[in-house]
Amino acid sequence: MRLTRLRLTDFRSYASFEQRFAGRIVAIAGPNGVGKTNLLEAISLLGPGRGLRGARAGEIGRRVPGEDTRPWAAFGAFEGPDGPSEIGTGTIGAGTIGNGTTGNGTAGDGAETGRRKYLVDGEPAKNQAELAGRAAAVWLTPQMDRLFQEGASGRRRFLDRLVWALDPGHAREVAAHDTAMAGRNRLLAEGRRDAGWLAALEDAMARHAVAAVAARRALSQRLNLLLEAGTATGAFPAARLNLVCPIAAALGQAPALAVEDGLREALAASRGRDAAAGGAAQGAHRTDMDLVHLPKGLEAALCSTGEQKALLVSVVLAHATLIGAARGFAPLLLLDEVAAHLDAARREALYAALARLPAQVFLTGTDPDIFAPLQGVAEAFEATPEGLLPG
C-alpha cells in the first residue's frame, strides 16, 4: 500500500498543499517550523483515530489573525493490492475532500463546523473499521521519547494502532466499549441506579472489553514471535511486548465467555465504588503495555532514552513485517526526526531495514545530510513553508 498523492486545504500551516509521491521511502528535510510534522499528521489522519498529535478536529484548521480556526480538509490517493482507493477527511464546511476531479465528496455545506467527516472512494465512511481496512499508519515522534515515563493512555493508543493494522474491527470494539462505559459513568454520576439500564451497559462493556483485549493479546503474541527472534529487526534489540491487563491475564486462563461473565459480575459489584471514583476501575481502558530489552533483561522504563527509541524501532519494523505477511500490505510508517536520535551505526541499520520492508516510509529531519545514505533509494524533498521541492 502506497500513498501516491496528498492534498490539503487550510490544514495547520498550509493554506493549500498538493504533492504526488512515487517513492517507497520518502525523505523530507527542512528546518524546524516549516511544516514537516504537519504533513505526517495529515497522513496519519487518513486512518482511524486522532492522528499522531491526538488533536481534536477543531484544533487542526489553519489559524488566520482575526478569524476563527478555519475548517480543513485532507485527501489521500492510495495504491494497494486491491487497486487504487481514495480517503478524504475534514471538518464540515471545509470544501471538497474528494479527488478534486470528479466533484465527489464534499465535507459539508458549511452549516455546521468542527465535526470531522470521512469519505472512502467518494462515499461517507460507515465507521472507523472501514477506514482501518483501507489504510493504516504507525508512527514514531520525538514526543514519544517519554512513552514509558508517562501515563498508560499513550502506550495503549500506540498498542491499538498496531492492532488496527492487523484487525480493522478492533476500532469498532474499542469505540463500542468506550461508548458503553461513558453511558454507565454518566448514570452513576447522576445517581441513577436503574438496574436494568446499568446491567445492559455493563453487558456491552464486558463483551466489547473482552473482544478488544483479545485482539491486543493476539497481536502481542504474534508480534513477539518476531521481536524475540530478532529476524525482522536487524541490528535493533530483540524485545518482548508484555500486556499489563487483568483481562488479558484472565484470557490466558479461561474461555472468553467465562471472562465476560466475570467482568460483568465485577462491574455490577463495583457500582458504588466506581460512582465515588468517577469512573470504572475495570475494563479495556485499563490495559497497559511494556517492552523488555531482552539482551539486557531490562524493562523499557529502566532503559536509556536511546535504548527506548531502539526498542520502539524494533516494534515498528517487526510489526510492518507481520502485517505485510498477514494482510498483503504493511501500514505506512511515519518516522518524525527518528534518524537524528540514533547513532551512526543504528541509523545505517535503520535505513537498511527500511529498504527491506514491504512498507512505504515517510522520514523527516532537519539536516538533509542525515539522509545521504539513502541517495538513490529514497525520494527526497526539501520542505518549505509553501510546500515540498525536489531534494
The answer to the question of whether 35 is labelled as a binding residue is: yes
The answer to the question of whether 34 is labelled as a binding residue is: yes
Residue pair 52/336 in contact by the 8 Å Cβ criterion: yes
Instruction: Write down the pLDDT at residue 121.
Output: 93
Instruction: Write down the pLDDT at residue 106.
Output: 34
Instruction: Write down the pLDDT at residue 103.
Output: 35
Instruction: Write down the pLDDT at residue 99.
Output: 47
The number of residues in the chain equals 391
Give the pLDDT confidence of 190-225 residue by residue, as tens digits: 998 789 999 999 999 999 999 999 999 999 999 999
CA distance 330 to 227: 17
Q: Supply the DSSP string of 338-382, one letter for each residue.
A: -GGGS-HHHHHHHHHHHHHSSS-EEEEES-GGGGGGGTTTSEEEE
Q: H or E element: which one contains 223?
A: helix 195-229
The answer to the question of whether 90 is labelled as a binding residue is: no
CA distance 20 to 187: 50
Instruction: Write down the pLDDT at residue 248.
Output: 98
Per DSSP, 150 falls in state: S
> In the chain, what's the furthest Cα-to-Cα distance?
66
Instruction: Write down the pLDDT at residue 192.
Output: 82
CA 326 to the chain's CA centroid: 18
DSSP-assigned beta bridge partners for residue 293 = 239, 298
The answer to the question of whether 183 is labelled as a binding residue is: no
Residue pair 40/13 in contact by the 8 Å Cβ criterion: no
Mean pLDDT in each 10-residue stretch from start to end of the chain (391 residues)?
A: 95 96 96 95 92 92 88 94 90 54 34 72 85 86 91 94 91 95 96 91 98 98 94 89 97 98 98 96 97 96 91 94 88 92 88 91 95 94 94 84
CA 76 to the chain's CA centroid: 16
Residue pair 241/213 in contact by the 8 Å Cβ criterion: no
The answer to the question of whether 37 is labelled as a binding residue is: yes
The answer to the question of whether 33 is labelled as a binding residue is: yes
Instruction: Write down the pLDDT at residue 48.
Output: 85
Q: Helix %, strand %, coil % for the chain, to 5?
A: 45, 20, 35
Ranges assigned E (strand) in the chain: 2-11, 14-20, 25-29, 73-80, 83-91, 116-120, 123-124, 137-140, 239-244, 288-293, 298-299, 332-336, 361-365, 379-384, 387-390
- Residues 208/211/213/216 CA torsion (nearest 10 deg): -130
The answer to the question of whether 391 is labelled as a binding residue is: no
Q: Which residues are CB-neighbours of 45 under 8 A, at least 6 positions away?
A: 51, 60, 74, 89
The answer to the question of whether 32 is labelled as a binding residue is: yes
pTM greater than 0.95: no
157 CB-contact burial (10 Å; exposed 0-12 / middle 13-18 / buried 19+): middle
CA 359 to the chain's CA centroid: 15
Q: Coil, strand or helix: which one is 152?
A: helix
Domain ranges across the chain: 151-303
Q: Coil, strand or helix: which one is 163?
A: helix
How many other C-beta atoms can be found within 10 angstroms of the C-beta atom of residue 152? 16
Backbone angles phi, psi at 204, to 5 degrees: -65, -45
Instruction: Write down the pLDDT at residue 68.
Output: 83
CA distance 103 to 117: 16
How many other C-beta atoms can be found within 10 angstroms of the C-beta atom of residue 80? 14
CATH H superfamily, domain 151-303: RecF/RecN/SMC, N-terminal domain (1.20.1050.90)
